[in-house]
């Protein structure tokens, strides 16, 4: 029988091979064997998604491969999530994400959400075409550490500062990250965002940095 490290390596490798069904089965086996949930999360799922982020940054993976790996990780998280919520394993932090008002693009936003979840964060996805008032309502309801918003059209980018202004007026104390194809660092700085993520892997590292996570 394989030892624990080898079994965790199998989960890790299957995420990198985009084998969602196999990942779910292996994670379920570890849960049934009584393996510590945090070990499964940290040493298999999060470790694999960290590798995916590194490979993307190095140009060895592209968005379609990142999505497939994230979907494989998500299959494992579907097994762990309800158990983690019942246990005392802390999340890395809570993040609310959404695509801004009048924008219905969601691929990038979905990838950011999956990568954050793979990084150990609790993610509340508001979906697309999210009005400023909906972000404010979610901030009040969930008390997130971070709010992330995306826009994929230059015509919807102005809804980012509108949303940020609404959050500031509502006295939101957390951090705000913006991103999306037409969004730039300069734009992010002018609208009062705390940070700008050019891609999903950077979003995860920024979230960790903002919350002081090594």
Question: Per-residue pLDDT for 214 more than 80?
Answer: no
> Domain 94-210 is of which CATH architecture?
3-Layer(aba) Sandwich (3.40)
**pLDDT value at position 1?**
65
Summarize pLDDT for 86-144 with one digit per residue, the tens.
777 778 899 999 999 999 999 889 999 999 988 889 999 999 999 999 999 999 999 99
Tell me how far CA of residue 147 lies from CA of 50, 121, 136, 168, in angstroms: 21, 12, 10, 12
Domain boundaries, the chain: 4-86, 94-210
Task: Quickly count: other Cβ atoms within 10 Å of residue 212's Cβ.
Answer: 7
- Rounding to the nearest 10 degrees, give the CA dihedral for residues 93, 124, 189, 63: 100
Question: How high does pLDDT run on average in the chain?
Answer: 93
Q: Name the DSSP letter for residue 182.
A: T
- Phi and psi at 122, nearest 5°, equal -85, 125
Q: Is 32 left (phi over 0), alpha (psi -120 to 50) or beta?
A: alpha
| Average pLDDT value for residue range 30-50 | 93
Find all residues with CB under 8 Å of 175, minimum gap 6, and list them. Answer: 145, 146, 147, 194, 195, 210
Summarize pLDDT for 145-181 with one digit per residue, the tens.
999 999 999 999 999 999 999 999 999 999 999 999 9
Summarize pLDDT for 178-202 with one digit per residue, the tens.
999 999 999 999 999 999 999 888 8
Please tell me the pTM assigned to this model.
0.84
- Phi and psi at 89, nearest 5°, equal -75, 115
What span, in angstroms and rounded, lies between the C-alpha atoms of 20 and 33? 20
What span, in angstroms and rounded, lies between the C-alpha atoms of 186 and 61? 27
Task: Note the CATH number of domain 4-86.
Answer: 1.10.1240.10
**pLDDT value at position 37?**
92
Report the side by side order of strands in the sheet with 94-99: 122-125, 94-99, 146-150, 175-179, 195-197
Question: Under a CB-based contact definition with an 8 Å cutoff, are residues 194 and 177 in contact?
Answer: yes
Q: Which helix (H) or strand (E) holds 97?
A: strand 94-99
């Amino acid at each position: 029988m394989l030892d624990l490290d080898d079994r965790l390596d199998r989960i890790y490798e299957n995420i990198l091979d985009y084998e969602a069904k196999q990942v779910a089965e292996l994670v379920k086996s570890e849960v049934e064997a009584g393996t510590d949930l945090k070990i499964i999360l940290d040493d298999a799922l999060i470790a694999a998604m960290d590798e995916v982020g590194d490979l993307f940054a190095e140009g060895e993976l592209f968005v379609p491969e990142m999505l497939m790996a994230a979907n494989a990780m998500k299959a494992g998280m579907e097994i762990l999530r309800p158990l983690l919520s019942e246990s005392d394993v802390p999340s890395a932090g809570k993040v609310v994400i959404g695509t801004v008002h009048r924008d219905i693009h969601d691929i990038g936003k979905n990838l950011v959400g999956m990568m954050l979840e793979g990084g150990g964060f609790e993610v509340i996805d508001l979906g697309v075409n999210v009005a400023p008032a909906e972000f404010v309502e979610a901030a009040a309801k969930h008390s997130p550490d971070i709010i992330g918003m995306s826009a994929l059209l230059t015509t919807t980018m102005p809804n980012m500062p509108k949303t940020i202004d609404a959050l500031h007026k509502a006295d939101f104390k957390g951090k705000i990250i913006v991103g999306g194809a037409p969004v730039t660092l300069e734009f992010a700085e002018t609208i009062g965002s705390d940070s700008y993520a050019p891609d999903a892997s950077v979003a995860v590292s920024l979230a960790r940095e903002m919350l002081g996570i090594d």
